[in-house]
A and B are shown apart, each in its own frame.
Chain A
């Protein structure tokens, strides 16, 4: 126990300032009222869905939980079921084998809900889809081909800061 406490004190606080919302990431007009957003912004529950990614984006989503980005410190946490979630964080490309599961996850998420697509593949199918955003026999391409997407964050993979920015954009109103 002494060793642990000593290590915690030595480590100190590493958390950095979170990024600001960026309207350029928004695909759909903000549908939620300011009052709802205020509540969401203070205690947002996220269900992450890997709809067929290479696992690269997941690595950066994990990093959001580290001390530097400290997403829980902002009142945002990842939950185990879509039924507990306000926001779906979806990586792609959406494989055809995950198409139904993604739709069902979306349906299981209570209204009002938000969707943030993560990564180049989530935005346009990325390297796995021929001709940018196109489908192939095994993938449906971008996330927006399967469920409505509010905010899209590009990058391969996007940095944790960019993902956080996308999440914060989804729960912000246009100023």
Chain B
């Protein structure tokens, strides 16, 4: 996507995807973003880094049909500020707030300047991702210090330890006759990740939903900075456990881009095989839960039998049910022989047959369709305006799939058929999931015919070159997963930023629930199934 701007000089990156990088001054950021937006482009990720003494840096990744541009904006050491771009790309708002919480980079004149990932674990004015961050000194609340030893005697109730309101967060309040609030979370009623939802309702009708995330913030980005390239790959696979393959691949792709190496063809075929298996497993699980959420327990029982069979085959063939640690920089740690191929082929045949039957049952079940159709709707126009992406985006006519637009090897040989639908409701997201599931079965079969079994030893990437910068992007089951790696003068990881598509899609969930009833929220939420840990980091 070469952008034309007098103050922007773009250099092509050695990336698997068509990507360019260019350095700009903060003053030019607004104009360039505006230009990209008008050309139909969108924002993929925004993060900051501490490059002092040179200064702070803001990194903005924009994308359109022709490629990706990473704008590196150098900010001053004393006043790291840049013009707000959330008016151009609404999805930027939470990313900008996080960039302030973590690095102190300020988006000037942004309408929402509230904290986002910071609750009470560190105090305002200290920034964890700065290189001179002192974790101990930043602890504003003495009772947040870890309890020594974890002995029973040391565990005090909140009242005893004086913990009252640790996290004072100004929610937007809806006022009016008959309006009341339902606070939900962070500990939810189901087996779900933690987050807080503040519903403002009249009767059962939802007038407003406000999300408060950040509860699972566990310092992943800071953790990367003390890790070797290989340890980083292990961590990347655990940013969001349901997308272990997508993250590990994106991480490896970024590292390989910096080192300018291409993994062997066999490794790429295997990576794609694992990625499609991850997609199948997740869609099976969610399709089961979507049945469960509309009181069709039969759906849960059936789909989870199928999912379990996929997971067991994963364990038997690749050594891990969720395929963690199978993709490493430079290649893969797994292999597949003729017996393994046969097992996967049989599994694909079985799934095709069974899922077809179950799809027929879902489609003909009046109760199910009554709950699915028209529920949690995101119109294509709103989806485009706010930047809905991934599987949920495709259910709202956002025809974008990184496997199609930027078909990196081996997808360039696979001709992925993108699944899209216009209706944007729960039913549409169910249809897209079914379609993508069948497409993934077709892709797996095609991959198997191309995959040549070789007993070669893996050629793994040992170390990164100095002062490198690389980006990897992979279409995970939820949407596009991006990982950016910066290496320092010694070739060590100095900054790693993983970006989950949930950043873009969480704000749309606030819209999807409007005018729906509270009891439909679990159903709508599950139809998106966004990641908390992937955005909290």
Contact = CB atoms under 8 A, between A and B. Distances in A.
A135 interface: yes
Contacts of A22: none
B244 A56 contact: yes
A97 B144 CA distance: 10
B255 to A, nearest CB: 18
Nearest to B138: A137
Contacts of B22: none
A43 interface: no
A9 interface: no
A146 B215 contact: no
Contacts of A128: 218-220, 223, 235, 238
B531 A99 contact: no
Interface string A126-143: 011010000111111110
Contacts of A58: 191-193, 241
B133 interface: yes
B191 A62 contact: yes
Contacts, number: 191
Given A56-B322, A97-B216, A7 B222 contact: no
Which of A62, A106, A128: most chain B CB closer than 10 A?
A: A62
B163 A145 contact: no
Interface residues of B, number: 69
Contacts of A11: 301-302, 305
A95 interface: yes
B304 A65 contact: yes
B30 interface: no
A81 interface: yes
Given A48-B191, A54-B238, A138-B121, A98 B533 contact: no
Contact of B238 (A4, A62, A95, A127): A127
Contact of B187 (A49, A93, A159): A49
Interface in B197-236: 214-220, 222-223, 226, 234-235
B240 A55 contact: yes
B456 interface: no
Interface in A103-145: 103-107, 127-128, 130, 135-142, 144-145
A49 B357 CA distance: 35
A166 interface: no
Nearest to A148: B152
A96 B119 CA distance: 9
Interface of B: 119-122, 128, 133, 135, 138, 144, 146-147, 150-152, 155-158, 163, 166-167, 186-187, 189-194, 214-220, 222-223, 226, 234-235, 238-242, 244, 285, 298, 300-302, 304-305, 307-308, 311, 321-322, 324, 357-358, 360-361, 364, 531-533, 536
Interface of A: 3-4, 7-8, 11, 14, 28, 48-63, 65-68, 78, 80-82, 93, 95-107, 127-128, 130, 135-142, 144-149, 156-157, 159
